[in-house]
Amino acid sequence: MLAADANVDLGFDFEARQNGDVVIFHRHRLAAILRGQAAQQFVVQANDLSDAALQQVMARVTGNYKRGNERRAADHPRNRLP
């Protein structure tokens, strides 16, 4: 990760509910719900992280992060405009 990207807000937010669930939102839309042990581990981890690091963790938990193949995928025949 580049140093310039470290402070970028990726648009994630979360809410810890009373029943123990953790709801993660991406740009105010539901992205994931963590339950049980995964929710507990996320809350413990969230307390120790900076905002930028927490954004990265939420991106990974939801599966919404760049994988490095976006440029090649744009050239794939099924992704080309007709």
Which pLDDT does position 2 carry in this prediction? Answer: 43
Report the predicted TM-score, pTM, of the whole model to 2 decimal places.
0.70
| Residues in Cβ contact with 42 at an 8 Å cutoff, skipping those fewer than 6 apart | 14, 22, 34, 57, 61
Q: Which residues of the chain have pLDDT under 70?
A: 1-7, 64-74, 81-82
Q: How high is the pLDDT of residue 8?
A: 74
Q: How many CB atoms lie within 10 A of CB 21?
A: 14
